Amino acid sequence: METTFLMVKPDGVHRGLIGKVVSRIEERGLRIVAMKMMKIDRETAEEHYAEHEGKDFYEPLLEYITSGPVVAMAVRGNSAISLIRDIVGETDPQDASPGTIRGDFGIDIGRNIVHAADSEESAERELNIFFKSQDYQEYSRVEENWIYE
């Protein structure tokens, strides 16, 4: 089982899409093992988006991600990283397929509803920024034997 990081960004929170995002994750058979709503401070935003430092969109990205509440999640399941990437769709909503979160709810790349880790390394780094070990809840879903062999 993999654990990955997913965040509903301020535009998704303000548009009332938290429930739709959570539903898509759970309907796919994945488990949310940690979740919290928070307002990201500048220091955390800089750590989270460190790979983009120096790029022209870096400062506007930091201003945006700290502008309102987000919902951070740790999501677990077989191939969770790739499944979440499939659920959220392409980064640019203009390129995202219908049926994905970004394809159904996004229009602009700067307001694309969610952030999802793109690799095992990113998932581990991002999960460690937002969660401590005691934040994780272990449980199984009753239908898991119908999802996994």
Catalytic (active-site) positions: 115
Task: Please check whether residue 74 is in contact with residue 32, taking contact to mean a CB–CB distance below 8 angstroms.
Answer: yes
Task: Please check whether residue 73 is in contact with residue 34, taking contact to mean a CB–CB distance below 8 angstroms.
Answer: yes
99 Rama sector, left if φ>0, alpha if ψ -120 to 50, beta otherwise: left
Which helix (H) or strand (E) segment holds residue 145: the answer is helix 144-147
Tell me the CA distances in angstroms from 33 to 29, 56, 72, 128, one per residue in order: 13, 35, 11, 14
Task: Please check whether residue 1 is in contact with residue 77, taking contact to mean a CB–CB distance below 8 angstroms.
Answer: yes
